[in-house]
Amino acid sequence: MLGASGFLGNALYKELYRYYNTYGTYHSGKIYSDNKHYLKFDLVNDDVYELLRQVQPSVIISALRGPFTDQLEAHELMVGYAQETGCRIIFLSSANVFDAFSNYPSYENDKTLSQSIYGKLKIRVETLLMRHLPEEQYAIVRLPMVFGVGSPRIQALKNELLLGDAIEVFPHLVMNTTTDAKLRQQIHYIINRKLSGIFHLGSTDLIHHKEFIHELVIMLDLNRKPIYKNVFTSNTDRYLAVLPRDNRLPKHLQITNETVVESSKKYI
């Protein structure tokens, strides 16, 4: 698990380490689990190929952030390692691979195009995997915004409310969402069943960003009046949503926006 000290990496690590012999990397943060299979890894100065040779994984999960050129290089090395050994790679990608298309939600086999440097990097890594590995060896997992009880997004919203800061909302943005809790079940299933290809792991329904954030504010119930700052990036509705169609997971692994809000509630 590359990036096991991060929000999603740690959620996945905690899900998997009791079932699989799991090793995780950290950079500046911590990994919260009790198996102590932690490895310090710096994307800029360390060689991911050497790390992989030491650990000899049968599945690599990439949940990294960091400087873009180093991320790209590390994924090139990962692909080289996978070519030599036959191991599989699960790559956490993003709905942003479609951020240049705004008129429709996107499905797994739609053409990708991005205007952002983040989305462009995700497309480059996806292309690396698709060009150089047979489909059985990779799972590209495209995620919308991820929420959940301890998510940085919920923490940030809570802080903005408590401090009376303006909360940015995008009234024309139509999106889907998910939680870290649902993602860990989905990835566990993908690994267990050896599923491969492209997966769109967003909620099955769509919602306007502003409405969704308002639902979260009501759910948080902090007795504060929210101050919204409307950000308009287009005159009409703009979609940033990854919907499943060709590679659907079973019903119990699907989620709705309503459940995302509910599951972001406890222990806050």
Pick between residue 6 and residue 105 the one whose CB is nearest to ligand NAP. Answer: 6
Per CB under 6 A, 98 contacts ligand NAP = no
With CB under 6 A as the contact rule, the residue among 37, 65, 120, 188 that binds ligand NAP is 65
Please state, in angstroms and rounded to a whole number, the distance separating the CA atoms of residues 140 and 201.
Answer: 10
Q: Who contacts 208 (Cβ-Cβ below 8 Å, separation ≥6)?
A: 171, 172, 173, 174, 175, 237
Per CB under 6 A, 3 contacts ligand NAP = yes
In the complex, residue closest to ligand NAP by CB: 6
Pick between residue 72 and residue 224 the one whose CB is nearest to ligand NAP. Answer: 72
Please state, in angstroms and rounded to a whole number, the distance separating the CA atoms of residues 212 and 101.
Answer: 21
With CB under 6 A as the contact rule, the residue among 28, 103, 223, 236 that binds ligand NAP is 28
Per CB under 6 A, 8 contacts ligand NAP = yes
Per CB under 6 A, 143 contacts ligand NAP = yes
What is the β-pairing status of strands 88-94 and 138-143? parallel
Per CB under 6 A, 16 contacts ligand NAP = no
With CB under 6 A as the contact rule, the residue among 59, 92, 174, 181 that binds ligand NAP is 92
With CB under 6 A as the contact rule, the residue among 66, 150, 171, 197 that binds ligand NAP is 66
Please state, in angstroms and rounded to a whole number, the distance separating the CA atoms of residues 59 and 53.
Answer: 13
Pick between residue 220 and residue 242 the one whose CB is nearest to ligand NAP. Answer: 242
Which of these segments, 35-43, 48-56, 192-200, 246-254, binds ligand NAP (CB under 6 A)? 35-43
Q: Who contacts 244 (Cβ-Cβ below 8 Å, separation ≥6)?
A: 107, 108, 199, 200, 201, 202, 204, 254
Per CB under 6 A, 212 contacts ligand NAP = no
Specify whether the CB–CB gap between 147 and 138 falls below 8 A: no
Per CB under 6 A, 148 contacts ligand NAP = no
Specify whether the CB–CB gap between 146 and 179 falls below 8 A: yes
Quote the least distance from Cβ 223 to ligand NAP, whole Å. 27
Place of tokens 């995008």: 170
Q: Which two tokens stand for residue 42?
A: 């710096």
Nearest to 27 by CA among 59, 77, 63: 63
Q: By the criterion CB under 6 A, which residues form the site for ligand NAP?
A: 3, 5-9, 26-29, 41-44, 63-66, 92, 94, 143, 145-146
